[in-house]
C-alpha cells in the first residue's frame, strides 16, 4: 500500500493503482457493527452532510476518530439518528480508505494542508479562454495536484466565444489530457452540458477553477434543477453570504450515475505537500528512464538520465519538457 507523506495525519490513503482498483476499505476493525454507510456531500463548520441510502443525514465526527477529518467524497460509517429529520445529528465512526485525495495547501510556504476532495476519479480543471485570462501556471499546478492525488485530469475550456482554444491546447498537447471546449451559445443551448457529461458518466469528478471562469454555471447545467447550488445570496438568518462556497459540495449528475463535486474558486493552488515521484508516476513513458538518474535527482539538472532517455528515442522530448514544466510549478512564483 502506498502511503501519503509525513505532512499528513491521514494514515490510510493510497493512490488508486488502476481504474478498477479495490473498493475502499476501512482500516480499523469494526466496532459499531450496526453502522450505516454514507458518503460525505459537504462540510460546514464541523457539521457533515452525508448521503445515507437516499436520505440526507447531518452528522458530526465521533470523538474516537481523533484528529482525523472526514472530507467531501469520503465514504463513512455512521451511527445514531439516521432518520435525516430536522435537528437530528448522527455520528461518523469510521472513514473508509481513500482511493484518491485531492489536496492543496493555501500557499507553498504554509505546510497546513487543506484537503479538498476524497475519492474523486477525475479532476476537471475549468479555465476560461478569456475574462479572466487563462493562467497556464495555475492549470499546471492543478495538474500536479491531480497526478499527486491519483485523479485523472480533464481540461474544461470555457468562453470559447471570447477567444480561441488553440494556443492553450498546443501547450497541453504533449500531455494528452482529455479536454472539452464550451461557449456561451453551447451553454444556453444545453450542448455544453452534453459534451462535458460524456466525460463524467458514472465517475466522480471534482471541478476546480479560478473564480469567474464559469464553473458554477457549468456545474448547475449538469445537475438536476432542485440540487443546483445557489450563489451570491445572503442567508437571512445567519447573515452570511455564499457560505457554502467555503466547502466543496457533491452533487448528483443529472440523468446518469456519477457525481460532480463543486469546489470554491481558487486563486492559488499550493503544492507544499506534493511528492515528485507521484507526479512522475503519471508519465509511464519517462518513468523507466529514471533508473540511471543520480540519487535524489530533481530531473531538471545536468546528469539527469532523462535527457539521454529521450535522446535515444524512448520518449517524446515534448513529454520531458512538459514533465519539467510541471515539476517546476512546485516552486512558488509571484501571482501563483
Ligand X SMILES: Nc1nc2c(ncn2[C@@H]2O[C@H](COP(=O)(O)OP(=O)(O)OP(=O)(O)O)[C@@H](O)[C@H]2O)c(=O)[nH]1
- Interface with Zn ion (CB under 5 A): 293, 297, 299, 304
Nearer to Zn ion, 12 or 285 (CB): 285
**Residue 304 binds which entry of Zn ion, ligand X, none, with Cβ cut-offs from 5 to 8 Å by kind?**
Zn ion
> Which partner from the list Zn ion, ligand X, none does 102 bind, CB cut-off 5 to 8 Å by kind?
none
Give residue 125's Cα distance to chain centre: 9
Shortest distance, position 106 Cβ to ligand X, whole Å? 17
Written as nine digits, the cell of 330 is: 512546485
Q: Which residues share a beta bridge with 59?
A: 48, 90
| Nearest C-alpha neighbor of 319 from the set 280, 274, 278, 277 | 280
Q: Which is nearer to ligand X, 30 or 224 (CB)?
A: 224
Q: Is 275 in the site for ligand X (CB under 6 A)?
A: no
C-alpha cell at 1: 500500500
When CB distances are held under 5 to 8 angstroms depending on the partner's kind, the choice from ligand X, Zn ion, none that residue 231 binds is: ligand X
Report the residue number, 198 or 301, with the smaller CB distance to Zn ion: 301
From 3-11, 133-141, 166-174, 176-184, give the range in contact with ligand X by CB under 6 A: 176-184
Nearest Cα neighbor of 292 from 275, 278, 304 is 304
For the annotated binding site, the residues are 158-161, 209-217, 293, 297, 299, 304
Return the ∠ at Cα 127 (arms to 124 and 128), rounded to 5°: 145
Residue 265 interacts with, from ligand X, Zn ion, none (CB under 5-8 Å by kind): ligand X
Among 73, 134, 153, 209, binds ligand X (CB under 6 A): 209
CB of 185 to ligand X, least distance (A): 8
If binding is defined by CB under 6 A, does position 231 make contact with ligand X? yes
Q: Which residues neighbour 120 within 8 Å (Cβ) at sequence distance 6 or greater?
A: 73, 100, 102, 151, 204, 205, 206, 261
CA proximity to 178, closest of 198, 161, 158: 198
Binding of ligand X by 21 (CB under 6 A): no
Residue 14 interacts with ligand X (CB under 6 A)? no
* Span between the terminal Cα atoms of the chain, in Å: 33
Integer Cα distance of 28 and 9 in angstroms: 15
3-state secondary structure of 15: coil
Site residues (CB under 6 A) for ligand X? Answer: 158-159, 161-162, 182-184, 187, 209, 211-217, 231, 265
Amino acid at each position: 500500500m502506498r502511503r501519503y507523506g509525513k505532512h499528513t495525519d491521514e494514515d490510510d490513503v493510497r493512490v488508486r493503482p488502476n481504474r478498477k482498483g479495490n473498493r475502499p476499505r476501512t482500516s480499523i476493525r469494526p466496532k459499531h457493527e450496526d453502522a450505516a454507510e454514507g458518503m460525505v456531500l459537504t462540510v460546514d463548520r464541523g457539521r457533515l452532510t452525508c448521503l445515507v441510502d437516499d436520505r440526507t443525514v447531518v452528522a458530526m465526527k465521533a470523538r474516537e476518530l481523533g484528529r482525523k477529518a472526514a472530507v467531501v467524497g469520503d465514504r463513512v460509517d455512521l451511527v445514531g439518528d439516521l432518520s435525516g429529520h430536522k435537528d437530528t445529528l448522527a455520528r461518523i465512526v469510521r472513514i473508509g480508505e481513500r482511493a484518491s485525495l485531492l489536496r492543496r495547501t493555501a500557499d507553498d510556504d504554509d505546510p497546513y494542508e487543506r484537503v479538498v476532495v476524497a475519492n474523486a476519479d477525475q479532476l476537471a480543471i475549468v479555465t476560461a479562454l478569456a475574462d479572466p485570462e487563462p493562467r497556464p501556471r495555475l492549470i499546471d499546478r492543478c495538474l500536479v495536484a491531480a497526478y499527486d492525488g491519483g485523479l485523472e485530469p480533464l481540461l474544461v475550456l470555457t468562453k470559447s466565444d471570447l477567444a480561441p482554444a488553440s494556443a492553450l491546447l498546443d501547450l497541453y498537447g504533449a500531455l494528452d489530457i482529455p479536454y472539452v471546449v464550451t461557449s456561451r451559445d453551447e451553454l444556453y443551448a444545453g450542448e455544453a452540458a452534453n459534451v462535458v457529461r460524456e466525460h463524467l458518466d458514472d465517475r466522480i469528478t471534482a471541478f476546480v477553477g479560478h473564480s469567474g471562469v464559469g464553473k458554477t454555471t457549468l456545474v448547475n447545467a449538469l445537475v438536476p434543477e432542485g440540487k443546483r447550488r445557489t450563489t451570491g445570496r445572503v442567508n437571512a438568518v445567519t447573515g452570511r453570504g455564499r457560505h457554502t462556497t467555503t466547502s466543496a459540495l457533491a452533487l448528483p449528475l443529472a440523468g446518469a450515475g456519477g457525481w460532480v463535486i463543486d469546489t470554491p474558486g481558487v486563486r492559488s493552488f499550493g503544492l507544499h505537500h506534493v511528492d515528485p515521484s507521484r507526479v512522475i508516476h503519471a508519465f509511464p513513458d519517462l518513468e523507466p528512464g529514471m533508473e540511471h538518474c543520480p540519487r535524489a535527482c530533481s530531473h531538471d539538472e545536468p546528469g539527469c538520465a532523462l535527457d539521454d532517455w529521450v535522446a535515444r528515442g524512448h520518449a517524446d522530448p515534448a513529454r520531458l519538457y512538459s514533465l519539467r514544466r510541471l515539476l517546476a510549478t512546485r516552486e512558488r512564483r509571484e501571482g501563483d
